[in-house]
Structure 1
Amino acid sequence: MSLVGGSGNKVRDSGSFLNEVFLGDVRLDSDSIHGQAQQTNLEYLMMLDGDNLVWSFRKTAGLPTPGVAYGGWESPNQELRGHFVGHYLSATALMWASTGNDALKKKMTAVVSALGECQEKMGTGYLSAFPSEFFDRFEAVKPVWAPYYTIHKMMAGLVDQYVFAGNDQALKMVTQMAAYFYKRVQNVIEKYTIERHWKSLNEETGGMNDVMYRLYTITGDANHLLLAHLFDKPCFLGLLAIKADELSGFHANTHIPIVVGAQRRYEVTGDPLYKEIGTFFMETVNSSHSYATGGTSVGEFWSEPKRLATTLQTENEESCTTYNMLKVSRNLFRWTKEMAYADYYERALTNGVLSIQRGKEPGVMIYMLPLGPGMSKATGYHKWGSQFNDFWCCYGTGIESFSKLGDSIYFEQAGKDLALYIIQYISSTLNWKLGQISVNQKVTPVVSWDPRLRVTTTISSKKEGVSSTVNFRMPFWTTSNAKATLNGQSIPVTSAGNFLSVTKKWSSSDVITLEMPITLRMEAIQDDRSDYASLHAILYGPYLLVGLTTDESDLKPDSGPLTNWITPIPSEYNAYLVSFSQETDKSLFAIAHKNNTITMVNFPNPGDSDSVISTFRIITNSSISTRVPSHKDAIGEAIMLEPYSLPGMLLVHQGKEKTLEISDSSNHDNALFRLVEANDGTVRIEAENQKGCFVYNSNGSVKLSCDEKDSTFMTSQFSRPSGT
């Protein structure tokens, strides 16, 4: 058996699969959305304290406990404590491979060493933040909260520390853990029966089969292979083996990792049954249990197949499930090169992973993705970790996801027909060692006013005379009007759903450009009931669009084609959006509209629901459709203010000392204002037909006053629009 792609994975026949290029050979562009998301995650990982992370491990081992234990599911009184530390080990190993950050490697190595001291103190090979008595309860089929789930995270984290960071101590530790649990499982089978062991697996066990198959590919130890088999959970995999869709009612994230392990079994043993299991499972979830985001599950469980319309709510698409479904799809792509799996990966990564992190705020992610009408992600974000002392399971998969954003952009084909497959268009560089070339992929950010995905790939040879093929994915969502050039010369483009292959002896700087048209389209929800036939999602290329509605959300029967009622917003649009803030001694407020009345609210965070009602569009006096080049150019000009969420409506005053309102009045006299700049750079909002009368804050209400004292009270600053 041979090593594949530097990842430490032995397979039965490395030539039969595409190899994953080693994560350490890929670097994300720091200016890209993926690079920024990775950096935000790195900042969070650097915030975590090693002593706090291992506090419960030291307590269990009987060692001194400096620091303070983290909270949430890591609290010393929680049975699931220690699981996040496993995620941390995986995330930091992946992040170090992705960035080469030496400070992070020092921190994660120290954590591994501290855990090694705990394992050595206990002396049995056991390593956990909770005592081994939890497994006595598990084996007796008595209530206990998923101890193997936590052990899987720990073992996977240690394997990742070895594979991606070269930590030999981590490999020794996970091997000792495997020996300990091999004995435990054998004792259960000898004392009772193997049926008793299978019965105990009805608790969540994570990917114990997967990590044991991974460990076997490294060690070649037959005991590791046997233990992997014993965690394959036949009562679930058996249903998939006979191709029965019985997923309804199963806890999704308990079972997806088991399928990932089954896929690993196929790679290790070559048993085609497990290839069929993985293929059928993906087809079933993707055709009957998936939302337009690519995600699955409602309240953590699978619902009835093709009955998703009535499951849309606040707790859809548990983020852990998306993380693990991506593993299923990338394995299938490596085996088959089928475009559908690469297209799925793009959809789920774009809409189900990038969407769970809020901007550039380290440690702020979402657990469930709300998909119901009128729902907002703003209510689902959680702050967690060292600042907020609140760890949950799927935040762990979150830090792993954002540590390995570069792991499925490029795949390689070894052998005489040397080839590279580019399946994700993400600004990045690759040092392709096998092909002796470097790849620099630059992707222009997608916008509405330029409906094309534009990719420029520069390929430079590091050795003369070496020929290879580079394959570019032509995604299903593009059209026949796609264009491609090689060094400025047009080359034939294949149809959507295929690969554009370019084979040559590469020079020092060959440049390939792609322009792939992006179109709007609608996709029906996976629901075969006629009552829900009209329920559709709207997508723009791989991006799921969301709608901002304040009244009726249903489209009318005569709405016509998408392009009749959805139009692109010009690039300068953001220049016309503004939020007005007012700072007092203790707080920052913003002008907002609620129920057609203007009021003051606490200045919202980006993404909060109040950010929408606090954002206005500047319109000049000359025409309702004419905008100013920049909000700064509006100072001193007569303008109107249109609420961002109410196109066609205007901010109007009703006279002195009366509350401002929102109106669609055809007479714009009371809707005209002038922005007057003060000496300190702030502005006041003056009524155009009431000179000397300014908008001011009257105990939370927004009124027009001509009193000099009141008129100077409302000194609002231009801000970056809080709603954009």
Structure 2
Amino acid sequence: MIVKMKRRFLLASAAAGSVNAIVPGGRQSAYAARLQGGFEADVTPVPLSNVRLLPSPWLDAVERNRVYLLSLKADRLLHNFRKQAGLLPKGALYGGWESDTIAGHTLGHYLSALALMYAQTGEIACRARVVYIVQELAVVQGQWSDGYIAGFTRKEKDGAMVDGKRIFAEIEAGDIRSSGFDLNGAWSPLYNLHKTFAGLFDAHIHCQCHQALEVAVGLGEFLETFFGKLTDAQVQKVLTCEYGGLNESFAELASRTGDEKWLHLARRIYDRPVLDPLMEEHDDLANRHANTQIPKLIGLGRIAEVSQDRRWMTGPEFFWKAVTQHHSYVIGGNADREYFSEPDTIAQHITEQTCEHCNTYNMLKLTRQHYASNPQAALFDYYERAHLNHILAAHDPQTGMFTYMTPTITAGVREWSTPTESFWCCVGTGMESHAKHGDSIWWQGKETLFVNLYIPSRMVWARKDVSWRMETGYPHDGRVSLLVEDLKSPIAFRLALRVPGWVREPIRVAVNGQDVPVTSSDGYIVLDRKWRVGDHVVLDLPMTVRTESPVDEPKLVTLLRGPLVLAADLAPAEGVYDAVDPAVVTDDLTQDLVPVEGQASVFRTIQSGRPSQLEFRPFYAQYRRRSALYLRCFSEAEWTQEEASYRKEQQRQKDIAARTIDVIHLGEMQQEHDHALRAENSWPLVYRGRNGRDLRSGGFIECTMKTRPGPLALKVTVWSADITRTRGARLLVNGRALPDVKWPADKPAQFVDVEALIPEAWVRGRKIFTLRIEPGSGRTSGPFFDVRVLSVRS
């Protein structure tokens, strides 16, 4: 489905218009907010090194992340870089993804995180480690002698892991093989190199490490030579494999070196099938891997900035609107099982496989980029929502560990990384996210200081030689206090305070104890005056409770208070949870709530909760709890009519989930990679909005599945009309065909689950088994969608 973008940004409310202030006597004050001629075009964040966080959940996250970063060993992350260059490694290889063919991606994230942490906190140990890593990379680069540095590997047909560099020679010779994540046997190698570039650039800018730029230029020269040997058609074939924001890397090289050749190369790293529709302002994102696409748009935006050609911003700006308005959950995250769905189908995709942290990390980068060229407060309505309710939710401040997914499904459990055996992509972006919580609070124009996030902090605005201190109980308390702490001499400039899109009531603003009348302009209250040491601004933002619903299901509600998304607290994450999903029976949930005394942002239903009354708490902080984020809302009459069928369906879904030992969603790259899928005469496809795999005669689909002791069954999801027409298929477990598989016949066209028992003796004593699907007697079989291993209840 292709949708032309027309709707406004749903997260930005009417607060972007005028705001009536509470004014004593109604007299126009000398401090009245006013705006002359609009905001400056050149708006940048105040440097992170000039911002220090004060006590708050954000500071807690930074401090815990700092401990984790310094617990890691740089030499272990450098293992493959040295080994592949013929140098003796100085540390053992880490586990998880660092032991797979994507090895080395974490080092780039780690460099960025250390550099950002140094800028955010001034921690000297972080800078020292950055300098050491860059020096080691320079040694590796010297050993290769052609600019190359990388830690990714390549898997040979016999399963042997070898250095990844050899894929470049194969590609130059015209041998280009990719299934989306895999490029000639290596896992997203260009994505991997983008992370290395990003880490080097952060080391250069935040740690003043000039050698980092030299290493980045050397790596750029290697890739320029490589791409220079490929035709445009071959480049497009290479770009079918996830390449991160490699176009951004080359644009950044152009910016930092002043050499136009890098901008030419950046423009060449352009994936036409994905980017052309977005540049034409068409949303065809459905069934595309979400985080593969977001960095590409950031890259286009960077090309626009460096080249000063705003035409390149068309795609990024449209993409941002499409994702935030039509593909985002209430917490600001997006995608189900890492993929975009059709626009405005959120209610159909509330699962345990939402929301990937990397996606939101990159959407916030895109938002910052968009804001710098178009400083509109509504952009930070989205930023605040996602930064608070998803980014904080994906990091446990007690352990310092990270989630890959933040589930939106009722009673979902956040699964946390381990210190040394995970190193998923979301561990890497998590390291970065919680090293830089001060990077978007304060922004600066030539004559305007913007406050976009209300996070307690101290800041030095070097442009005007003025220091500010912001104290607040935000996000639980809407009172924000801003104090001019230091200033050489009185100076005039504008202070622009963002009016959040969720504000529904009049705002109070006081300067030095005097209430002032205000109106908003482009979503800001602007105080234009000559500032002196000790000047004190107090902003009171009323935090009312409200509900929101997905566009496609008005009866599904979420509860919010101010910037916080709330969720019903159900139970601890540990242990079995088999209760019926909660619901509310009311015409207006906000009228059936009372605050819980002594607990910030906690509310309890009076009589609408079903099957019992519910207690709502901030979603982000329910790190090790099961919660209900989206709730079905019924009237009394509807509840009476639907209660029985509602509970029956909920129980059926819970039964499947409880019985599931393993599941593979065919046609999805990450799932197939994790299950070591092999296939011949089989192609991924999308059918009726679901990813799957077709299977042609003479081919097969083969993967590994987990098992456990006891009676088991295999459940395969198919489209009934197709499987009937193609006369079924053969399901083999460890090479033996399952008997008595009952394929559907003469059923209406619909998705159907086919379940067959697995003889216990076939998998006894094993942790995994090999599943193979072979076509039936027709020319094709399938498509096949989800495959599950289920326990069989006695």
One-letter amino acid of the structure 1 residue matched with residue 150 of structure 2: S
User: For residue 418 of structure 2, what is the aligned residue in structure 1?
Assistant: 383
1:219-245 deviations in Å (ceiling 9; x for gaps)? 011221111111132322211111111
Is residue 2:197 matched to residue 1:134? Answer: no
SS of 1:73's equivalent? helix
Q: Is 1:566 the counterpart of 2:593 in the alignment?
A: yes
CA offsets, 1:169-208, max 9 Å, x none?
11100001101100100012xxxx2111112101000000
1:309 aligns with 2:309: no
Residues 477 and 496 in structure 1, CA contact (< 8 A), matched pair in contact too: no
| Partners of 1:497 and 1:424 in 2: CA distance | 16
Structure 2 residue matching 1:321: 3-state secondary structure: helix
5 Å matches for 1:294-333? 294-333=332-371
Hey, what's the Cα distance between the residues in 1 that align with 2:407 and 2:171? 34
User: 3-state SS of the aligned residue for 2:484?
Assistant: strand
Matched, 1:63 2:87: yes
2:643 corresponding residue in structure 1: none
Tell me the SS of whatever aligns to 2:76: helix
- Establish whether residue 369 from structure 1 lines up as the match of residue 406 from structure 2: yes
Q: 1:406 aligns with which of 420, 438, 448?
A: 438
CA distance in 2, matches of 1:180, 1:251: 28
Deviation at 1:123, TM superposition (A): 0.8
The aligned residue for residue 620 of structure 1 is none
Whole-Å separation in 2 of the counterparts to 1:552 and 1:220: 58
Find out whether 1:186 has 2:213 as its counterpart. no
* 1:481 matched residue in structure 2: 506
What is the aligned partner in structure 2 of residue 92 from structure 1?
114
Question: RMSD of the alignment, in Å?
Answer: 2.3
The residue that corresponds to 1:518 in the other structure is 543
Tell me the equivalent position of 1:709.
none
Q: 1:283 aligns with which of 316, 321, 337?
A: 321
Q: Distance in 2 between matches of 1:284 and 1:312?
A: 19
Instruction: Write the letter of the residue equivalent to 1:51.
Output: D
Q: Partner of 2:712 in structure 1?
A: none
Cα deviation 1:461-487 (Å, max 9, x = unaligned): 523242111100111111332211101
C-alpha distance in structure 2 between counterparts of 1:524 and 1:366, whole Å = 25
Deviates more, 1:341-350 or 1:325-334: 325-334
SS of residue paired to 1:545:
strand
Structure 2 CA distance for aligned equivalents of residues 141 and 369 of structure 1? 35
2:310 and 2:262 map into 1 onto residues whose CA distance is 21
1:235 aligns with 2:254: no
**Aligned 8 A contact 2:108 2:197 in 1:** yes
The 3 A distance-change label for structure 1 pair 282 and 563 is same
Which residue does 1:583 correspond to in 2?
A: none
> Is residue 21 of structure 1 aligned with residue 46 of structure 2?
yes
- How far does residue 19 in structure 1 lie from its aligned partner after superposition? 1.4
Contact 1:454 1:516 in 2 (8 A): yes
Are positions 1:433 and 2:462 aligned together? yes
1:562 shift after superposition: 2.8
Per the TM alignment, residue 445 of structure 1 is displaced from its structure 2 partner at its CA by 4.1
Q: Structure 2 CA distance, aligned partners of 1:87 and 1:611?
A: 31
Alignment-derived partner of residue 584 in structure 1? none
Secondary structure in 2 aligned to 1:332? helix
Cα separation, 1, equivalents of 2:253 and 2:625: 47
> Residue deviations 1:120-172, cap 9 Å, x none?
11111000114311334555322332110110000111011001110011110
Please tell me the residue identity of whatever aligns with 1:383.
T
Matches within 5 A, 1:618-697: none
Distance 1:424 1:227 in 2: 36
What amino acid maps onto 1:401 in structure 2?
A: S
Q: Is the 8 A contact 1:425 1:443 kept in 2?
A: yes
- Choose which of 93, 105, 109 in structure 1 pairs with 2:131: 109
Partner secondary structure for residue 365 of structure 1: coil
**CA distance in 1: counterparts of 2:559 and 2:409, whole angstroms:** 14
CA distance in 2, matches of 1:479, 1:351: 20
Say if 1:428 and 1:442, in contact at 8 Å, map to a contact too: yes
1:11 aligned residue: none
TM-score after normalising by structure 2? 0.66
Equivalent residues in 2 for 1:549-628 (5 A)?
549=570, 550-556=579-585, 559-571=586-598, 607-609=623-625
Q: Which residue in 2 is equivalent to 1:618?
A: none
Could you say which residue in structure 2 is the equivalent of 1:342? 380
Query: In the alignment, does 2:428 pair up with 1:396?
Result: yes
CA displacement, residues 673-696 of structure 1 (integer Å, 9 cap, x when unaligned): xxxxxxxxxxxxxxxxxxxxxxxx
Q: How is 1:215-230 mapped onto 2 (pairs within 5 angstroms)?
A: 215-230=253-268
Per the alignment, residue 456 of structure 1 pairs with 481
Residue of structure 2 in register with 1:508 after alignment:
533
- Specify the alignment match of 2:209 in structure 1: 167
Report SS of the residue matched to 1:275. Answer: helix
TM-score, structure 1 length as denominator?
Answer: 0.73
Q: Which deviates more from structure 2 when the two are superposed, residues 532-541 or residues 32-41?
A: 532-541
Shift of 1:331: 1.7
Tell whether the 8 Å contact from 1:479 to 1:495 is kept in structure 2 after alignment: no
| Alignment CA distance shift 1:207-1:513 (3 Å) | same
Instruction: Flag the 1:273–1:84 CA change in 2: closer, same or farther, 3 A.
Output: same
Cα displacement (A) at 1:611? 12
Q: d(CA) in 1 for partners of 2:145 and 2:332?
A: 45
Quick one: structure 1 residues 288 and 551, their matched pair in 2 at CA, closer, same or farther if it must change by over 3 Å? Answer: same
Assess if the C-alpha contact under 8 Å between 1:287 and 1:526 holds in 2. Answer: no
Looking at structure 2, the residues matched to 446 and 83 of structure 1 have their Cα atoms a distance apart, in angstroms, of 34
The Cα shift of 1:69 comes to 0.9
Instruction: Deviation per CA, 1:496-538: give whole Å up to 9, x if none.
Output: 97211112221111110111101111111142xxxx3311221
**Is the CA contact (8 Å cut-off) linking 2:509 and 2:540 kept in structure 1?**
yes
Over 3 Å counting, the alpha-carbon distance change for 1:127 and 1:466 in structure 2 is same
Indicate how the Cα distance of structure 1 residues 74 and 468 shifts in structure 2: closer, same or farther if over 3 A, else same.
same
Q: How many angstroms apart in 2 are the aligned matches of 1:409 and 1:493?
A: 22
Q: 2: CA distance between counterparts of 1:83 and 1:357?
A: 20
Measured in 2, the distance between the counterparts of 1:300 and 1:138 equals 28
Which amino acid in 1 is paired with 2:310? P
The 1:610/1:341 distance shift into structure 2, 3 A limit, reads closer
Relative contact order, CA 8 A, sep 6+: which one is greater? Answer: 2
Alpha-carbon offset, residue 21 of structure 1: 1.6
Is contact 1:479–1:516 with CA below 8 Å preserved after alignment?
Answer: no
Across the two proteins, how many residue pairs are aligned to each other? 546
SS at match of 2:568: coil
Partner of 1:706: none
Question: What CA distance in whole angstroms lies between the structure 2 residues aligned with 1:554 and 1:608?
Answer: 22
Write the letter of the residue equivalent to 2:554.
A
Q: SS of 1:135's equivalent?
A: helix
Higher gyration radius (CA): 1
Matching of residues 66-77 of structure 1 within 5 Å = 66-75=90-99
Whole-angstrom distance in 1 between the partners of 2:465 and 2:528: 14
Q: Aligned partners of 1:454, 1:88: CA distance in 2, in Å?
A: 36
Instruction: Tell me which residue corresponds to 2:78.
Output: 54
Q: CA deviation at 1:430?
A: 0.9
Alpha-carbon displacement from aligned partner over 1:33-76 (angstroms, at most 9, x marks no partner): 1111001111111001121111111101111112211111111x
In structure 2, which of residues 174, 195, 198 is the aligned counterpart of residue 153 of structure 1? 195
Cα distance change of structure 1 residues 47 and 413 upon mapping to structure 2, 3 Å threshold: same
Q: SS of the counterpart of 1:567?
A: strand
Would you say 1:253 and 2:294 are equivalent positions?
A: no
2 CA distance for matches of 1:568 and 1:560?
Answer: 19
SS in 1 for 2:90: coil
